[in-house]
Structure formats: C-alpha cells, structure tokens
Amino acid sequence: MADTPPKKAAQTRRRTGRHRGEGQWAAGHFTPLNANEQTKKDDDGLNVRTRIETIYAQRGFDSIDGADLRGRMRWWGLYTQRRPGIDGGRTAVLEPEELDDEYFMLRVRIDGGRLTTAQLRVIGEVSEEFGRGTADITDRQNVQYHWIRIEDMPEIWRRLEGVGLSTTEACGDTPRVILGSPVAGIAEDEIIDGTPAIDEIQRRVVGNPDFSNLPRKFKSAISGSPQLDVAHEINDVAFVGVDHPEHGPGFDLWVGGGLSTNPKIGVRLGAWVPLEEVADVYEGVIGIFRDHGYRRLRTRARLKFLVADWGAARFREVLEQEYLGRALLDGPAPDAPVERWRDHVGVHRQRDGRHYVGFAPRVGRVDGATLIRIADLAEAHGSERVRTTAEQKMVVLDIEEDRVPSLVEGLAALDLTTSPSPFRRGTMACTGIEFCKLAIVETKGRAASLIDELEKRLPEFTEPVTINVNGCPNSCARIQIADIGLKGQLVTDAEGRQVEGFQVHLGGSLGLEPGFGRKVRGLKVTSDELPDYVERVLRNFSDQRAEGERFAT
Ligand code: SF4
C-alpha cells in the first residue's frame, strides 16, 4: 500500500509560496485531493499485477474492481479499449463504464527502441495469438496491441518477460518508456551513446515503488545523436548529446516539455551531465516531480507546470541543493540538426562499416505477422537487432553492404519502403476512435488514405513535411509541432450536419527552430475534405516558397 509518501518528500517539505495549495507532497498535502490521488494512496498500481494473475484472469472481466479497471491496470500497460460503434459525439457525454469494452489495449515498453529479432518475433507471435494481429508502433517507440483479454495476461507476460520484454509502467502516473536514439552505439555521427544511462535508469526506477506514485505520467528521452531524434523538446526530462569544450561528450539537460492541451517546449537548465551521472540527475528530476509536482488538479499535474512556475534557475537550484547535494557543471546547448528528418529512414553507413536500414510503415501500423517476417528477414541478412523510432518507423541494424539490396527488396515486398514519399515519411497518427475512449474522430485509416491520395496528387512534391493526425485535443501524435497539425473534433459540414473533422494548426516544428503551429482561427476541415485541403496547402507552399524556405517558416 502506498499510504506513506517517500521520506524525501517529508525531508524536503518547505514553503512553496503561492502554490502551496496545489497538492504538493513537499508542502504537506499528503491527504489525497482528488479521486486519482485517492486510488493511488489506497493501493500502489504495481500491486494490481498479483490480482490480475490470481483473480481477474481466472474469473474474467466482470470480476475486475472498478478502481483497478480504470486506474491501476495502467501500471502494467493496460487500458480498456473503446466499445465498438460509439461515435465521437458521445465520447464526452457517456459514463466511463459505457465506453469500456471488455478488451484491453496493451502497451509493451521498448526503452531506447531496442529489440532483438527474438524479441520482435515474440511480439509478433503475441499479436497474432492474443491481439487479433494488431501491433502499432507508437511515437514513443512502444508497441501497442488491441483486443487483449484479461484471461490471457498471465501467458502474455510469461512470453514477453521470457525474452526480456516488459509492460511495467508502460502507462499510468509512472516513469514511462525512456526514448533513445534508434541508432545509439552505431551511428557514424554520434556524439555519445546514451544506452548505459537508459539501462541504469531502468534498473533503478522502473517498477520501483519509490517512483510509482507520481502526480502524472513522466516522459523521458536520452539521445546522443546530432539529429536530435527523440523529440527531446516535448519530454518531461531529456538528455541531449553535446560536446563540452573542456570535458568532452556528455548531455545537455532539458526539463518541463509536453504537449496535450497546454503545450510547452522544455527548457534548458544550462547544465552539462556526464554519462555516468545521468541516472543520478534523472532520479533527482523525477524526485522533484514526485515531491513538488501539483496533485490537486489532473490538468496541472505534469512537470511542465511546475517548471513554468519556478523557472529554470530555481529548478536547477532545488535539483542541485536538495536532490543531488552538489552543483552541476555549466554546458553548451546542442547544435541545430543538419537535416529536417529525424527518423533514420533509408540506408546509412554505421561506424563499423556495416549499414542500418530504416523503413516506413504507414502511420506506425503493422501487424503481428509482418513483425515476424521483419525478424526473419533481418536474421536472413545477418542481423539480430531492430529498433523502433519516435516517428513510428523501424530500423534494422548491422547489415553488410552486399546484403543491403536484398534486404531493401524484402522489406519492399512487405510494403515497408526504405525510400518513402514525404507524405508516408512525415505523417503520424494516434490511435483514434477505433480503440481510444477519449477519441472524437477516426485517425489511422484516415491518415493512411491521406498518404495514398497525396502520393497520387503530388508526385513531384519532395520537401520534408510533417502531418500529425490526432483524434482529440490530447495530442498523442503531437498536434502542435507538425507542419500541418490536425486536432480531431466534430465540425459542421456544408449541409449543417455535425461530422468528424479537424481543427488545423500550421507551421509547428522541432529542431531548428522549435515552436508551436498557429491554430488557424476558424480553420476547420471535415475528414472528407482533408485530402483537398492538404493538397491545396502544399501546392500553395510549393508555388510561393522562397529559395531554401522550409514549410515551417
Ligand atoms: Fe486517444 Fe486523443 Fe491520444 Fe488520440 S490524441 S490516442 S484520440 S487520447
């Protein structure tokens, strides 16, 4: 039972000024101030695993306690999925139990996006046997199944854990998957390999009850790639590879990024962190979040709100003085990436002379059978390593040069191209109304057909462009940082009917000049109008762009 906040919170109890009333443990708010906090205090989410294995899997869906079903299941990567046939207009008006299907979405965490071919094969087999073939690559490098029955969970865990995979804290108010560069340890241009830090953080933090009751989710990213390939700007904490003029390769520390309905770009603390200290600093930052994070309102419970209120200087001071007990070194900011694409698609030389081959499923949608074939194909070409990317793509590592063409051909035969159109390469979509209980509109299928249409209509368009399709304002597929960000909502069509559509945001971007897209006032398109609208925007851009101008400018 998690009814005693960790010692650190009590030790660091201090005056918190005007934010005393936001439910921070460090301000003495140990009495839960809302239902979510009460659920977490009643019992640690991690404890639900035993009940799933010993009770719910035996007795079935109807035996599941309500607080476990809609709360603690997440600590093991499980959400109920949306009952089929409920349209987006009813999302906000129905009670949660009316939206619940008796099947689950299950998320497998893949820290750093690292998989062996043996693990990929098991992921595919579980999909085929227990998930009706579903297996989406998410923009957080996870794999997500649907149609999972509670009765099958013990066997699913047995299979996944048997090859070193885990669903622990894949969802919930927890340290979620740690994003990592898909080409960590192999890329020719790498500044530093963050893999040891990811492993150490996993060892210390994931499944540790000291960190299993956070105010809300905690998103992390570590990459030493100059391509800035983990969307570090929108994570709660991020470590970005930089070369310190005196101390050499290490990491620049960012905190407080996040999207959803109150988007914020993370802020630099101006601190340089050597590889061996990354886990300590991570523990300090997550400790601050646990102890000082706002718990009264779910809508203010992400780290970004605390960072916005404190500012970078105070956050660094608290981190150094109260959590690390020492000062951090000052350090430089990362350089802007040379390339706009961060997805590692295509064929690239590794520093050991072999090659990595990145390919693009449509909007991350694959299936179990395809994943098994990818594992077979990689092994047949001498590789045992595959990676997922934070752009819903995949990469096969360690291919000898003379075997590259055959692998590329084999992937293409699975409709997994290594040279996709800019539309396939740059379009992402969240889960949407097919399975998500919060969704208002359909996304995956809509985005896939948008790609097909744009490929037909604009065959000469070659500029990098990102199109992010989201089923609701929660921005799981990053509405605000796309060239064309689409937020699902009901809109009025020409006949005055309420139909599925999107609010349009234009000109968002990460990397060179991070910033949020402009919400174009009044600009809403119906889902049916979407291909015409996007075609028009892209044609106008092509016709009017100045030399060297990117879409986002
Ligand atoms: Fe669901 Fe909304 Fe997230 Fe899409 S953006 S997956 S619809 S919560």
Pocket of ligand 1, candidates 144, 431, 446: which has the most ligand atoms within 8 Å of its Cβ, to mutate? 431
Half-sphere exposure for 511 (CA within 13 Å, toward CB): 24
Residue 152 has what pLDDT? 98
Measured from the CA of 436, which atom of ligand 1 is nearest? 1
Give yes or no for a contact between 491 and 528, defined as CB atoms under 8 angstroms apart: no
Q: What is the pTM of this model?
A: 0.94
Please report which helix (H) or strand (E) contains residue 355, including its range: strand 355-359
| pLDDT tens-digit profile, the chain (553 residues) | 333 445 555 454 444 444 558 999 999 988 888 999 999 999 999 999 999 999 999 999 999 999 999 999 999 999 999 999 898 888 888 888 889 899 999 999 999 999 999 999 999 999 999 999 999 999 999 999 999 999 999 999 999 999 999 999 999 999 999 999 999 999 999 999 999 999 999 999 999 999 999 999 999 999 999 999 999 999 999 999 999 999 999 999 999 999 887 889 999 999 999 999 999 999 999 999 999 999 999 999 999 999 999 999 999 999 999 999 999 999 999 998 888 889 999 999 999 999 999 999 999 999 999 999 999 999 999 999 999 999 999 999 999 999 999 999 999 999 999 999 999 999 999 999 999 999 999 999 999 999 999 999 999 999 999 999 999 999 899 988 899 999 999 999 999 999 999 999 998 888 756 778 777 766 899 999 999 999 999 999 888 776 666 665 4
Residue with tokens 């044609």, as numbered in its chain: 539
State residue 525 phi and psi, 5-degree precision: -125, 145
Pocket of ligand 1, candidates 87, 436, 437: which has the most ligand atoms within 8 Å of its Cβ, to mutate? 436
Residues with CB under 6 A from ligand 1: 430-432, 436, 438-439, 470-472, 474-476
How many Å lie between the centroid of ligand 1 and the Cα of residue 436?
6
Pocket of ligand 1, candidates 470, 479, 486: which has the most ligand atoms within 8 Å of its Cβ, to mutate? 470
Which strands make up the sheet holding 484-492, listed edge to edge? 427-429, 467-470, 484-492, 498-506, 518-526
| ipTM for the complex shown | 0.99
Give the residue whose CA is nearest to atom 2 of ligand 1: 472
d(CA 28, CA 35): 18
d(CA 41, CA 32): 7
DSSP per-residue letters across 468-511: EEESSTT-TT-GGGSSEEEEEEEEE-TTS-EEEEEEEEES-BST
Residue 31 has what pLDDT? 86
How many Å lie between the centroid of ligand 1 and the Cα of residue 438?
6
d(CA 82, CA 90): 12
Total residue count of the chain as it appears in this document? 553
Per the DSSP assignment, residues forming a β-bridge with 387 are: 114, 395
Give yes or no for a contact between 140 and 391, defined as CB atoms under 8 angstroms apart: no
- As a dihedral over the C-alpha atoms of residue 33, residue 208, residue 275, residue 313, rounded to 10 degrees, the angle is 10
How many Å lie between the centroid of ligand 1 and the Cα of residue 488?
9
Give yes or no for a contact between 422 and 375, defined as CB atoms under 8 angstroms apart: no
- B/e letters for 363-397, b = 16+ CB within 10 Å, e = fewer, are bbbbbbebbbbbbebbbebebbbbbbbbbbbbbbb
State residue 528 phi and psi, 5-degree precision: -65, -30
How many Å lie between the centroid of ligand 1 and the Cα of residue 168?
21
Contacts of 132 (CB under 8 A, 6+ apart): 146, 147
Residue 30 has what pLDDT? 84
How many Å lie between the centroid of ligand 1 and the Cα of residue 487?
10
How many Å lie between the centroid of ligand 1 and the Cα of residue 380?
37
Pocket of ligand 1, candidates 138, 430, 487: which has the most ligand atoms within 8 Å of its Cβ, to mutate? 430
Measured from the CA of 441, which atom of ligand 1 is nearest? 7
Which candidate, 252, 250, 240, places its Cα nearest to that of 274?
A: 250
Pocket of ligand 1, candidates 82, 446, 468, 472: which has the most ligand atoms within 8 Å of its Cβ, to mutate? 472
Give yes or no for a contact between 527 and 499, defined as CB atoms under 8 angstroms apart: yes
Residue 452 has what pLDDT? 97
How many Å lie between the centroid of ligand 1 and the Cα of residue 432?
6
How many Å lie between the centroid of ligand 1 and the Cα of residue 260?
10
How many Å lie between the centroid of ligand 1 and the Cα of residue 428?
12
